[in-house]
Amino acid sequence: IRRENQSSMSEFLLLGLPIRPEQQGMFFALFLGMYLSTVLGNLLIILLIRLDPRLHTPMYFFLSHLALTDVSFSSVTVPNMLMNMQSQDQSIPYSGCVTQTYFFHIFACIDNLLALVAYDRYVDICYPLCYASIMRDKLCICLLAASWLLSHANALTHTLLLGQMSFYADSIIPHFFCDLTALLKLSCSDTSSMRYYLYCEKNAFHPAF
């Protein structure tokens, strides 16, 4: 981070991907193609679900929001990475890094929509006669809202804890986006609160790992 002191921050320097200068154009075209394929593919899924009345079911309702999440998740990091590759400017403002961290964790956590799809399939298989009465529109909306609220709360907690951290001047993030793990290693302040929260989060949402 370029700054005058620990409370006045300017920007981070992203190391980016280890790509040779002569290969920049090839990898830029490759990543741009992959990104556009992801965005257009998911938007097509959303469009088909909206246009076909036969797909207006709870499962496809959740899948359409999952597709929207995939578009948003990719758009948090990839466009900035492509812009840095094209301009050769590896800097990102401190405010931009915090914002990126916030939205990255929102859309990373919102993938718990897969759990809602699994629950929908569980009800359909185990209680087929009661499926229509259980998976009503109101319940689907409530489950979706709860999923979004949980994601926002988790992302906000990460962001607030990140805002309390201080960093050395001219710190370089060895990544193409503001990775929280890398930021923890660069911090010159006490990171015990953030590490404890990450530990609790890991055990709560990923106990198998």
Report pTM.
0.80
pLDDT at 208: 41
For residue range 13-45, list pLDDT tens digits in order: 888 788 887 888 888 999 999 999 999 999 999
Question: What gap in Å lies between CA 85 and CA 17, rounded to an integer?
Answer: 9
Contacts (Cβ under 8 Å, ≥6 apart) of 51: none
Q: Flag whether pLDDT at 10 surpasses 80.
A: no
Q: Tell me the DSSP string of 31-100.
A: HHHHHHHHHHHHHHHHHHHHH-GGG-SHHHHHHHHHHHHHHHHHHHHHHHHHHHHHH---EEEHHHHHHH
Mean pLDDT of the chain: 84
Find tokens 């569980």 and name the residue: 122
* CB 134, CB 123: distance < 8 Å: yes
Model confidence at 206, pLDDT cuts 50, 70, 90, reads low
Q: Which is more confident, 137 or 89?
A: 137
Q: Where are the chain's structural domains?
A: 2-205
pLDDT one-digit tens code per residue, 33-80: 999 999 999 999 999 999 999 999 999 999 999 999 999 999 999 998
pLDDT in tens, 150-182: 889 989 998 898 888 888 766 788 888 888 888
CA 164 remoteness from chain centre: 21
Domain at 2-205, CATH homologous superfamily:
Rhodopsin 7-helix transmembrane proteins (1.20.1070.10)
Bigger pLDDT: 208 or 123? 123
Cα separation of the two ends of the chain? 33
